[in-house]
Amino acid sequence: METLVATETHCPYCALQCGMALSPAGASVTVAPRDFPANRGGLCQKGWTSAALLDSPARLTTPLIRDRHGELRPASWDTALDLIADKITAIIAEHGPDGMAVFGGGGLTNEKAYLLGKFARVALGTSQIDYNGRFCMSSAAAGSLRAFGLDRGMPFPITDLDDADAVLLVGANPAETMPPFLSHLRKATDAAGLIVVDPRRTPTAEQAALHLAPAPGTDMVLALGILHAVVADGHLAHDYIASRTTGFDEVWRIAAAWWPERAERVTGVSATDQRAAARILARSRNAYVLTARGAEQHATGVDTVNAWINVALALGLPGRAGSGWGCLTGQGNGQGGREHGQKADQLPGYRKIDDPAARAHVAGVWGVDPDSLPGPGRSAYELLDALGTDGGPHGLLVFGSNVTVSAPNSGRVADRLSTLDLLVVADLVLSETGRAADVVLPVTQWAEEDGTLTNLEGRVLLRRKAISPPDGVRTDLEVISALAARLGQPPARFPIDAETVFDELRAASAGGAADYAGVSYDRLRAGEALYWPVPSVDHPGTPHMFLDEFAHPDGRARFVPVDVRGPAEPPDEEYPLYATTGRVLQHYQSGAQTRLVDELTAAVPAVYVEVHPDTAERAGLANGDDAAVVSRRGTVRAAVRCVSSMRPDVVFLPFHFPGDGRANLVTNPALDPVSRMPEFKVCAVRLEVAGT
């Protein structure tokens, strides 16, 4: 592996996108943190060990093709690409363009996400494209659009939180998912102003002045109870509501019925603590409400997000300097990944694909007829569930995702993948989804290529190439371009240089909600902090949104009336426990990368189930025993961890592990009607002694 020079870049993992520097170290590189605003010289264990995968023996360095005996065998690039193109052509001839599908990832750079969306709609002509970001932040995006008219996860720089006296974290555990983030909460923590909503007493909740532990699926009831306390206890921001919002009266008609004592009976959170949360936020000069996956990954996720936004609006926080509402994006490019075209209903610039003006603009940049562009396709789980069915896709290209582990009801998803005429996976290691593929293509990873990402605060970042990739490995852009050419596209339509692709993305996004027209590699190389929208090259960017007006035509934010619907699958006599899922410090997403890092695997080698000791005892289990967590969809085999702070009615499973340790074997694919987000965070299970 050829090492070039010391390079300033960003971490390959979460949306905090910590600044780091890669320096030569013999045949490899060493990682050191940079004094970048998001992490200020800190890194988590994943960041510190991120270089381990660069020279891992698990790296793929040649294409693999499944032979007639069912084995994956090495092949040349030309052989692999020719085979893929021939099969795509045959599938489209038999089933039409929607016979092919594309599944992307929230870790792909903006350039990859953009070119992948263009490839699907132009080279394939298919509407069937979505990405794993649908599983991550789509409910927050939809809730923000309803309330504010625009979605940018955090509409203010992360450093604004440094001055917060109070922060309400709903369904977030940054102590494990993005540890350097906690440095921005020190003032709130020291001021006894950190409030954490989570059914588990997580490492983040341990640091909170107030931990609210509702039963899974009851977050909306808790928000309504706190909103009731805001009004009843005299904390309502009357002037703000009158001048900057609409719709409060309708919301109050619902919340009036959810006095804290009633909410306590549903959630398990005391009325005293609900009132304390309202009081802490209301009496703080600078206060924030931040939501994350715990609030969003529900079949009622959008309404739940809006319920918490309603609390923030009632207190007069959004669009006010020093206060606000925001969402903690999870994946490295979860924000940018959905802005530029790999989401089923969107075109670059956060444009709606069924908007004639949006179609005309993007088609003009692409040099195609607007009428040739397909309409909206299936959302992520619906796409996977339709694979191989009549009217569904019969071929699938996967870039940057490991759906066999990460999708809900993953046993069903694995079955659908097995019915395909063609499954292609582009990845840097042989993931569980890759092991099921007909063709596997080895691609570059973070330190081996240039590209931009947009972090959780809407800041566009340049991730720089630091080392050369192994021989035989190509970039995703090269793969997309080569396939497009084999499908008859002009070579210039699908460039392989990241900066060239980004310049086209700038033109395609111009005038859209997520306008990157004024962002350039030169400005990023010069160190400018550019938060979208950046509509022109002389525009400084927009670090703070909504200070003067919100993005609705009248400039006002919307209170959105939401009423209580419980989880799609509440516990019952046969399945008496709530199961919820989440991440641990040492692993990331499906674990395809972190499970190959010895230090991380040594710390957490396999799946486990957290359970209250009394609940374990009732199931005939003790700490360390092998348990079966059983739902209507499947069974996870996991070692028992007895945790006395767990609610007796809740079990927790981390979702990073493969095989019969896949947490998503039990999760419920019930979808939010607006965002199409699956209900990862709650399903009904029972706990048993595992069979031998």
How large a percentage of the chain has pLDDT more than 90? 95
- Cα dist from 266 to 85, 218, 222, 260, 612, whole Å: 55, 7, 8, 10, 20
**How many Cβ atoms sit within 10 Å of the Cβ of residue 26?**
8
Answer for the pair 446, 452: CB distance below 8 angstroms, yes or no: no
Please write the tens of the pLDDT for every residue from 225-256.
Answer: 999 999 999 999 999 999 999 999 999 999 99
Report the mean per-residue pLDDT for the chain: 96
Domains of the chain, earliest start first: 1-57+451-474 (3.30.200.210), 64-135+333-443+475-513 (3.40.50.740), 139-328 (3.40.228.10), 577-689 (2.40.40.20)
Please write the tens of the pLDDT for every residue from 279-299.
Answer: 999 999 999 999 999 999 999
Confidence band of 24 (pLDDT split at 50, 70, 90): confident
Q: Which residue has the tokens 């040649």?
A: 62
DSSP string, 594-650: GGGSHHHHHHS-S-EEEE-HHHHHHTT--TT-EEEEE-SS-EEEEEEEE-TTS-TTE
Q: What is the mean pLDDT of residues 251-272?
A: 98
Please write the tens of the pLDDT for every residue from 161-178.
Answer: 999 999 999 999 999 999
Strands 245-246 and 557-558: parallel
Strands 422-427 and 395-399: parallel
Please write the tens of the pLDDT for every residue from 458-496.
Answer: 999 999 999 999 999 999 999 999 999 999 999 899 999
Please write the tens of the pLDDT for every residue from 86-134.
Answer: 999 999 999 999 999 999 999 999 999 999 999 999 999 999 999 999 9
Q: What is the mean pLDDT of residues 28-32?
A: 90
DSSP string, 483-509: HHHHTT--GGGS---HHHHHHHHHHHH
Q: What is the mean pLDDT of residues 440-455?
A: 96
DSSP 8-state code for residue 469: P
DSSP 8-state code for residue 465: P
Q: What is the mean pLDDT of residues 298-302?
A: 96
Dist. CA 296–CA 291, nearest whole Å = 8
Query: Residue 673 pLDDT more than 70?
Result: yes
Query: Residue 2 pLDDT more than 80?
Result: no
Answer for the pair 182, 207: CB distance below 8 angstroms, yes or no: yes
Tally DSSP H helices, then E strands, for the chain.
25, 30
How large a percentage of the chain has pLDDT more than 70? 99
Query: Residue 338 pLDDT more than 90?
Result: no
- Please report the pLDDT score of residue 633 as a whole number: 97
Please write the tens of the pLDDT for every residue from 358-404.
Answer: 999 999 999 999 999 999 999 999 999 999 999 999 999 999 999 99
Query: Residue 47 pLDDT more than 90?
Result: yes
Dist. CA 308–CA 168, nearest whole Å = 10
- Does residue 533 have a cis peptide bond before it, meaning omega lies within 30 degrees of 0? yes
**H-helix segments, 102-247:** 110-118, 138-148, 174-177, 186-190, 203-206, 219-232, 238-244
Question: Residue 100 — left, alpha, or beta (φ > 0 → left; ψ -120 to 50 → alpha)?
Answer: beta
Dist. CA 188–CA 195, nearest whole Å = 9
Dist. CA 55–CA 596, nearest whole Å = 11
CB proximity list for 164: less than 8 A, separation 6 or greater:
184, 185, 187, 188, 193, 284, 286, 287, 288, 322, 323
Residue 598 tokens read as 């010895």
- Please report the pLDDT score of residue 692 as a whole number: 60
Dist. CA 618–CA 611, nearest whole Å = 11
- Please report the pLDDT score of residue 136 as a whole number: 86
Answer for the pair 220, 300: CB distance below 8 angstroms, yes or no: yes
Q: What is the mean pLDDT of residues 299-325?
A: 97
